[in-house]
Amino acid sequence: MGSNPTGRLPCCYQVTLPLENNGQQPHFLLNNCHTLKIRRDTSVMEISVREFIKNYESGKYNDNNKKTMINAGWFDWTCKETSLKNKLDKLFPKIKQIANSPKIDIEKTCVLLLNRLKVGLSLDLIRFCEISTGDLVYSVLFSFSKRKNKRQSELWGRENNFDKPLIKGTWRDIRAFFK
């Protein structure tokens, strides 16, 4: 992932979303690409993977507006807001393919989505976090290098404390891990 040997994004940045109905601002503190702690004052953390799948399939996330995309799990992005729905539509089948794995508790985890665009590189992440604590369980990274015309997928997990990728290869490799 670029020149950073750890494959991690720059450390410590905070994402602030628009005010919610109760007047509180949800905050997401991203210490690095693989450690994520989310404050419990956000409704995104209350939607289980099962509910996320149900909402998507029922059309709840069909509107391509910022509020709907935030409700669908997008918490940080550098792409155009109008691209979020298309990205969600591409990531959803992947989420559904691994959701029934015994390694993911679809009642006790939520889905969070992140996007980064840098010169010549596109990075999308699917994160599975515990609803009760906000702790990151798995982070699935999809990168595409325009210069090298190469796609790569990585799976990071707490099995090895996110020290190195559990899987580095293709989406097929990651799916096999979750079987």
Domain chopping of the chain, boundaries: 48-178
Give the pairing of strands 109-118 and 74-76: parallel
Q: What is the pLDDT of residue 21?
A: 39
79-85 average pLDDT score: 91
Query: Kindly report the CA angle at 87 between 86 and 89, in degrees rounded to 5?
Result: 65
CA gap 129, 69 in Å, rounded:
18
Give 23-79 pLDDT, tens digit per residue.
433 333 333 444 444 444 455 567 999 999 999 999 999 999 999 999 999 988 888
Q: What is the pLDDT of residue 130?
A: 92
CA gap 148, 10 in Å, rounded:
22
Please say whether the beta carbons of 155 and 167 come within 8 A.
Answer: yes
With 90 as the cut, is the pLDDT of residue 176 above it? Answer: yes
Please say whether the beta carbons of 44 and 110 come within 8 A.
Answer: yes
Query: What's at 129, amino acid-wise?
Result: C
